[in-house]
Amino acid sequence: MREVHHGRRAVLLAAVAVLTFSGQSGQVAAADGPNDISAIPGCPARPDGRLQPPGDRQPHTGPTRTRAASPAWQTTLDASGTVRGHTLRVDASTWRAGPRAFADGPFQGTLVTGERSAAGTRVRLIDLARRCTARSISLGALVYGSLVLDDGTLVVSLVDRQTRAELGVWQIGRGATAPPRRLIAPPSGPETSAIPRGVTLRVSSLGVLARWCGAGSCITRGSSRLATGLAAEVDLDPDADLDGAGSLPLRSPRPVPVYDRWFPWAVLSFRFHTTDVSPGWMKNAIEAAADGATDTSRSLSPIFAPVDGSAKGVIRYTSSFSSNCANAIACASHDADAWTLRMRPHGHDFRWGELRWCQKTNSDGCFDAERVAIHEFGHIVGLDHPETAGFRLAPSTTVMHQVSPSRPHAAWDRDSFGACDVASLQEQYGTPTMSTPISTCNDVDTRISLSASATQVAAAGRLVLTADLRTRADRAEYGEVSGMRLNGRSVQLRRRPAGSNGAWTTSWMRWAESPGIYTITLYPRSTYEYVAVFSAPDDEGLHGSTSNESTVRVTAACTGTCPNEEDPS
């Protein structure tokens, strides 16, 4: 789900200079009705006149509340499904924020909220126990991700407000005049130049860790001592090539990893959420993607069926995502037999820019909702990202890339499973028939055997030769394709005089309408040795195979009326 821009070091250094602070918020009382979020009152000062930051346990004056509230952050959409703002509710009070606002936490009773604009980001630390603004900070960069540490310091992940170049992770001390300090420098490469991309912040025993993910790869960097700079750098995943140039050879089988499964041809009914309502254009795209996931799997994978009533699957159009999908434009999850697909609203603000769905605005940089939805349906039936297993696949072969391409990148509007998706689904669920082609993305060995109706016949006597064709049965990694009988393929019979090294005479065997069985009837006039040959087809992921040799002796001359030809008519 990404595109590319590049940030240069000169841009990074220039952007660092514009990081600034502002003073604390004013003492404006919050009303019960909706107000601008700046109306949340400032927290009382300590007796020495200093602002009491989060985590400070010293006594303070003014009204106190000991119970930390549970805040609710909600996205406001217009009738077309575009983000128009946000609201923060704390108990009975509600405050409004703009379309580029955010909320992180709470962190031990502190909620970090902010509003991004062309000038940078205005950040507020809300003390939920006292319902007041503990601190207000203005930064000349855009904040996408924040933490409040135990000592009350703020940690933010920043990007340049104009170029969207990554600026790293910064630590902002508690003092009103303390300058921000860069805690972790950003890596270079696809992790910081892709669209979309994300950064996850967390605190561990090693200190603050930041994980940049983009273009199919992730890098984790950390600082073991706060404000002392980079302590460790770990490359976790290989780079991905979104446009297919220089792709590594496919591994086999199962080039798209599988992590879960349903019963073959399980019917997965779904409905659209009644509160997180999908606009019409999104609903149409999701229903088309459900049809594509059902019709193009060439396997016994589940069937997606929209219903009006009760259903185990729910489609939500929402900004409410779980933490493991915090940077995603869409997310699928399931627990037992219940599952949910979430699609972000048009206009959602990400660190790489504004999310635009092509069904709403048909311009470069938009994402095709149908293409993204079929990716998520792939997750629901058990497909994982190929990057998880270290695969680099061309966009024409899968819809399961960790990064969905935006317009006009290759396969940005693909509306069907790719060959590598089909390969995994066939192994996981089996094929609808024994004649269904095995996906070209797979690499499956076959075995063919040959038997004769007799070991010796009179000259021009009737001889029936039978071939049995199937995939290898001793390969557990083939899953449901292991040991599969293969119907409707092309099988040759080759013969030559026994004991000679001469050229083979070739005839085509006929499928006998029995599973994997092919036959031919001959009237030999000489002793021949025979082999059956299955040549690897160009349109399937099957290897060719050659049978054992079978010799049939001709013991006497023809009597009575003899056929004119040895081969069948």
Q: Output the DSSP codes for 36-92.
A: EGGGSPBPPBPTTS-B--TT--S---S----SPP--EEEEEE-TTSBEEEEEEEETT
Looking at the domain assignment, is residue 238 inside a domain? no
Percent residues over pLDDT 70 in the chain: 81
Q: What is the pTM of this model?
A: 0.78
pLDDT in tens, 217-243: 778 888 754 433 333 333 322 233 333
Tokens of 239: 């780079």
Residue that is last in its domain, among 397, 429, 461? 429
**Where is average pLDDT lowest: 57-71, 104-118, 237-251?**
237-251
Task: Identify whether residues 400 and 471 lie together within a single domain.
Answer: no
Task: Identify whether residues 386 and 489 lie together within a single domain.
Answer: no
pLDDT in tens, 168-209: 999 998 766 677 899 999 988 878 888 888 888 988 877 899
Task: Identify whether residues 381 and 503 lie together within a single domain.
Answer: no
Residue that is last in its domain, among 146, 178, 210? 178
Looking at the domain assignment, is residue 531 inside a domain? yes
Q: How far apart are CA 509 and CA 531, in angstroms?
A: 11
Element (DSSP H or E) covering residue 201? strand 197-204
| Residue (of 568, 559, 542) closest to 253 by Cα position | 542
Tokens of 265: 């041809």
| Residue (of 330, 441, 443) closest to 393 by Cα position | 441
Percent residues over pLDDT 90 in the chain: 56
**Where is average pLDDT lowest: 26-40, 61-75, 127-141, 292-306?**
26-40
What's the confidence (pLDDT) of residue 7? 26
Place 254 in a pLDDT band, splitting at 50, 70 and 90.
low
What's the confidence (pLDDT) of residue 424? 93
Mapped onto helix, strand or coil, the DSSP state of residue 419 is helix
Half-sphere exposure of 366 (CA within 13 A, CB side): 16
Q: What value does the mean pLDDT take over residues 258-280?
A: 90
Q: How far apart are CA 317 and CA 78, in angstroms?
A: 12
DSSP label at residue 177? T
pLDDT in tens, 402-448: 888 899 999 999 999 999 999 999 999 999 999 999 999 999 999 99
Task: Identify whether residues 20 and 149 lie together within a single domain.
Answer: yes
Q: How far apart are CA 549 and CA 532, in angstroms?
A: 8
The CATH number for 290's domain is 3.40.390.10
Residue that is last in its domain, among 361, 394, 429? 429
Q: Does residue 473 carry a pLDDT above 80?
A: yes
Task: Identify whether residues 277 and 302 lie together within a single domain.
Answer: yes
| Between residues 387 and 541, the one the model is more confident about | 541
Half-sphere exposure of 183 (CA within 13 A, CB side): 27
Looking at the domain assignment, is residue 25 inside a domain? yes
In terms of residue numbers, what domain contains 525?
446-554
Place 563 in a pLDDT band, splitting at 50, 70 and 90.
low
What's the confidence (pLDDT) of residue 564? 59
Place 28 in a pLDDT band, splitting at 50, 70 and 90.
very low
The CATH number for 486's domain is 2.60.40.730
Task: Identify whether residues 394 and 513 lie together within a single domain.
Answer: no
DSSP string, 461-524: --EEEEEEEEE-SS-GGGGGGTT-B--S---EEEEEETT---PPEEEE-EE-SSTTEEEEEE--
Q: How far apart are CA 381 and CA 366, in angstroms?
A: 26
What's the confidence (pLDDT) of residue 559? 63
Tokens of 161: 């407000």
Task: Identify whether residues 369 and 478 lie together within a single domain.
Answer: no
**Contact indicator for 34, 89 with CB cutoff of 8 Å:** no
Q: Helix axis angle, 369-380 relative to 280-295, nearest 10°?
A: 50
Task: Identify whether residues 465 and 387 lie together within a single domain.
Answer: no
Looking at the domain assignment, is residue 498 inside a domain? yes
Phi, psi of 38 (to 5 degrees): -70, -10
Looking at the domain assignment, is residue 34 inside a domain? yes
Task: Identify whether residues 424 and 450 lie together within a single domain.
Answer: no
What's the confidence (pLDDT) of residue 244? 35
Q: How far apart are CA 555 and CA 48, in angstroms?
A: 117
Tokens of 247: 């792709």
Task: Identify whether residues 29 and 171 lie together within a single domain.
Answer: yes
What's the confidence (pLDDT) of residue 383? 92
Looking at the domain assignment, is residue 217 inside a domain? no
Tokens of 103: 């909320």
Looking at the domain assignment, is residue 200 inside a domain? no
Task: Identify whether residues 460 and 399 lie together within a single domain.
Answer: no
What's the confidence (pLDDT) of residue 255? 63
| Between residues 154 and 93, the one the model is more confident about | 154
What's the confidence (pLDDT) of residue 403? 80
Report the amino acid identity of residue 210.
A
Q: How far apart are CA 487 and CA 434, in angstroms?
A: 5
What's the confidence (pLDDT) of residue 24? 30
**Contact indicator for 45, 60 with CB cutoff of 8 Å:** yes
**Contact indicator for 21, 166 with CB cutoff of 8 Å:** no
Q: What angle do CA 263, 434, 444 make, to 5 degrees?
A: 90
Contacts for 193 with CB less than 8 Å, ≥ 6 apart:
4, 5, 6, 7, 214, 215
Please name every residue paired with 498 in a beta bridge, in sequence order, or none if there are none: none
Task: Identify whether residues 404 and 461 lie together within a single domain.
Answer: no
Q: How far apart are CA 384 and CA 378, in angstroms?
A: 8
DSSP label at residue 248? P
Q: How many domains does the chain have?
A: 3
Looking at the domain assignment, is residue 184 inside a domain? no
- Residue 329: other Cβ atoms inside 10 A: 21
